[in-house]
Structure 1
Amino acid sequence: MKLIGIVGTNSDQSTNRKLLQFIQKHFADKAEIEICEIKGLPAFNEPKDKTAPAGIQELAEKIEAADGVIISTPEYDHSIPAALKSVIEWLSYSVQPFIDKPVMITGASHGSLGSSRAQAHLRQILDAPELKARIMPSAEFLLGRSLQAFDEEGNLVDREKIAELEDCFEEFVLFVEITNALLKEHHIRKVQNKDFSWK
């Protein structure tokens, strides 16, 4: 199984990057996970020809080719970072690679709530008609107080959190398999709404 993990921030010191790196290493026997950055991608500006910049197109191609996607988001002002929202706007406005794509949402934050409100907002966003992602239901992984959550080697130190993450990841692998099998079996085709406009 091939997955991609999207670091949902442009921060250089993000614990969400650390979380995805731990997931990549810890579940290496279950899936090949490529970590993708959104740092340096331009802000969305709604070009008339709906052509996304090269970095966005490259990310879209990786999403298309993957069996599933893991997005790890911090929480800024009770929501997702502007950089992540901008990337999602690019993708929904141009090539729409999230349509029917299985997605798992995780999040780490310095506070005790573990990006719970940001994750709720991200679920709403990914469920929009121009995105139509297949979001794993009834499961979330929240890592609070993330500055103290990792050791020097980047491993999670809380065994209960590791067990919780293992349960979530196992469920996601099953969700990816079932979702993709269902889509293949019923020949559900992705619909590109080329006439879409937010105006």
Structure 2
Amino acid sequence: MTEEIIIAGFGGQGVLSMGKILAYSGIMQDQEVSWMPSYGPEMRGGTANVTVILSDDRISSPYLKVFDTAIILNQQSMDKFEESVKPGGILLYEPNGISHHPKRTDINIYQIEANKLSTEMGNKKIFNMVVMGAFLKIKPIVELENVIEGLKKSLPERYHDLIPLNKEAITKGMESVTPYMAEQVAN
């Protein structure tokens, strides 16, 4: 099993953290892991993305042009990465702020309203864990207990009291992800 993932959005949405938690989870499952972040100098508000590869075999290169899964959190990332999903792959996106929804019909597309759900749960900082839950529902490539351990490793200890809320956010994402059908455009 090899899973090649791109997670992309604005800085401050937890893009890099989500990738790091997936990477930690893979390590705890004795997988080969690659975590390659990319972000602009502006950090919060600028674009950020991370490539994560989880594999049972050695990873030859962390640099990818096509992905099994794209997790898209803003329009700029949709414009840049929608076409980079392999046919038959998965595109998971947060529709808030997306003006041009995905159009491809050769991939599996899902939506998660993480912005709305994290607001309803009373803490916008759990946005990325709602998205993580949606992804794990679609593709359970890492075990939930390893994700929680990954959270403990990536969160500073002063925030460990938020781990139960993050776990609840993951569960909410798992329950709330929905398939999206790209409209077929008549030629």
Given the two structures, how large is their TM-score scaled by the length of structure 2? 0.42
Structure showing the higher strand proportion among its residues: 2
Given the two structures, how large is their TM-score scaled by the length of structure 1? 0.40
**In terms of Rg, which structure is larger?**
1
